[in-house]
A and B are shown apart, each in its own frame.
Chain A
């Protein structure tokens, strides 16, 4: 009786301590044991082309890891293993390796080596495996009675087109925590926070039998990343990239850029770089090829710049296409002679003829009639010397002289030396000049929406008049004469269309020796002249052998423009190009 009383007293005391004095602490411990919380990873947003073609998307994936220690005994306690168990465990590495080969490919021997790594319980077998593929592997192993493979959840970013538009899209890498991915280049980098979305969470109560149905359950859903739609046309981009590759390879050049732009809107239909890389495996590429040269690299544009110079001269009333110029065989600038690429004695050219023959001397003589500060102001209005705001990372501004530019520098910039531009700046400037004089800042992102369909703000094109409509027509007149010129007539015309173009060949500054070394060959063209809609600009860096823009870059321009006109349903011209005087 006494013992019973003592026991009862002890139990009652303990109950008072547990329930009364220290209840909060115990309740907290119990809740912690029952409560489970997990992070719900947000799906990274998709990037598509202008027609919805998927360029980048995320898939549920896993990292497959193995426990070699467990595989060695096939999950049995060594002391409790029968002879049959030992025989099965001995064959486990090979059997598991066969299943891995079946679903993941690869070499059976290397899998066996990983699965039998001594003194470890953790070996990474494969990363970024489709989640469903892992389920199939797990099913096969379960049916065969093998254990020891596990998964760690991680999403995989896939770029189904591989190298296509990779310099625009960029790439992702594992984030510092090892879970999830973070943009590390291109649009993936610049819009990482919007693409990544916001992770959610789920907290619930469990028992040894699993989740408690009537327990507390708090779910904060993940907000998936924003979907971006680009202005790029994947089909055209594919063709442009292949044609650019052929151009660069044939010219044995260092690199190349190709841009196709909608003249009316400033939208980029294609922006290609070569050499390039595969966004699925950026680690295998050279670092120099991971960027987007069309926006990051500034270069001296050469004679394509004459289009901008003539736009400034016509708009300021200094010249018309029929203005007469006496062009000597050379002129002095800063004490040094300036010559033309073609040898000649004194010739009489119209301003149209200066452009058609790409005469440096004629361009300098005409530009000297214009106020220097005014010329620089025109270059600024064309978008040179400042970033275009296209919405791509690491965009360079290039450089143009100040209004107090030296006379010899003024002479140089008139024909495209002594200043630097990016390909996107130059393409947008020419597009603005031929677009009835209205400049549209280039855009590459068409729209962006959340998973709820709500629009997200993206960089918008801004428009401004840079030259008059009449001046625009005069520049087109001069550019059309390039296509009709002796050199151009056999190489540049596109059957059925009136086109306007300009080639460029610039000596290339080598930053290491700060001297000119090699060339930059380029070619820009627009069509149709009656109502320009498509612009194609090709830049080839350091071609070997032939180095002139009309030889190296023009063929690619012609092929790309022909396909682009057809693809966008631009009707052929109804009239032939008028013949206008280039000499007098």
Chain B
């Protein structure tokens, strides 16, 4: 007899990785599945239709707005043309004359550093530069009744327009 203890017999039992398949849950039947599928399809189609309709509506709105923008562009162009017309030198001269303003060819300068006036101040009568003075019909009619004095302004030696 040996004194050694006999080796302990190892058990061969290990835990199995397999699990039992759960019992099959009974799903939808073929009928309901087809019904849902049809529902999804129908829903999709409706959604698509709504999307198309929305796109069409927006497209229509875009066209309307584009037309409106074009019309407003035309209006803007016409107004700009009017502004250009009213800001021409000839029109400004006409407007100024109708307000009773006359051009002054004897301007003087002010030295802003000292406040001194450079040049000789001189009154104007309105007939110094007739070629840039417009007259309204009313002014012409008034002049015919009471002729304006034609005396040159003091100191204006030899104004060319009188030659």
Binding site for B on A (CB under 8 A): 53-54, 57, 59-60, 130-133, 135, 158, 160-162, 164, 210-211, 213-214, 234-235, 237-239, 242-243, 245-246, 490-491, 493, 495-496, 551, 554-556, 558-559, 562-563, 566, 569, 571-572
Contacts and interface: CB of A to CB of B under 8 A. Distances in A.
B81 A238 contact: no
A569 B119 CA distance: 12
Contacts of B161: 246, 555, 559
B132 interface: yes
A158 B71 contact: no
A545 B157 CA distance: 23
20 contacts: A59-B80, A132-B71, A132-B74, A133-B78, A164-B90, A211-B63, A213-B59, A234-B89, A235-B89, A495-B120, A495-B157, A496-B120, A554-B160, A555-B159, A555-B163, A559-B105, A559-B160, A571-B109, A571-B118, A572-B109
B115 interface: no
A294 B80 CA distance: 32
A239 B132 contact: yes
Contacts of A130: 74, 77-78, 81
B63 A135 contact: no
A57 B159 CA distance: 38
Interface in B132-163: 132, 155-161, 163
B130 to A, nearest CB: 8
Contact of A161 (B77, B89, B163): B89
A120 to B, nearest CB: 29
A559 B159 CA distance: 8
Given A559-B129, A571-B109, A54 B157 contact: no
Given A131-B74, A160-B85, A571-B109, 20 more contacts: A54-B84, A57-B80, A57-B81, A59-B80, A132-B71, A160-B81, A162-B90, A210-B60, A213-B58, A235-B89, A238-B88, A238-B93, A239-B132, A490-B158, A495-B155, A555-B161, A566-B107, A569-B109, A572-B109, A572-B118
Contacts of B60: 210
Nearest to A237: B89
Nearest to A492: B158
A124 to B, nearest CB: 20
A566 B63 contact: no
Contacts of B78: 59, 130-133
B160 A555 contact: yes
Contacts of B120: 495-496
A229 to B, nearest CB: 15
**Chain B interface bracket (under 10, 10 to 19, 20 to 34, 35 or more):** 35 or more
B34 interface: no
Interface in B80-112: 80-81, 84-85, 87-90, 93, 105-107, 109
Contacts of A490: 157-158
Contacts of A54: 84
Nearest to A557: B160
B52 to A, nearest CB: 9
A558 B131 CA distance: 13
A158 B81 contact: yes
A556 B90 CA distance: 19
Given A491-B158, A496-B119, A243 B131 contact: yes
Interface string B30-67: 00000000000000000000000001101110010000
Contacts of A162: 88, 90
B131 A493 contact: no
A60 B77 contact: yes
Given A211-B63, A242-B131, A242-B132, A131 B93 contact: no
Contacts of B129: 239, 559, 563
Contacts of B118: 571-572
A235 B96 CA distance: 14
Contacts of B109: 569, 571-572
Given A211-B63, A559-B160, A245 B55 contact: no
B90 A238 contact: yes
A240 B43 CA distance: 79
A556 B156 CA distance: 15
A60 B73 contact: yes
Residue of A211, A238, A245 contacting most chain B CB atoms (<10 Å) = A238
Contacts of A158: 81, 84
A246 B131 contact: yes
Nearest to A250: B163
Contacts of B59: 210-211, 213
B132 A238 contact: yes
Residue of A131, A164, A558 contacting most chain B CB atoms (<10 Å) = A131
A78 to B, nearest CB: 33
Contacts of B71: 132, 135
A562 B158 CA distance: 13
Contacts of A211: 59, 63
A325 to B, nearest CB: 30
Contact of B160 (A57, A238, A556): A556
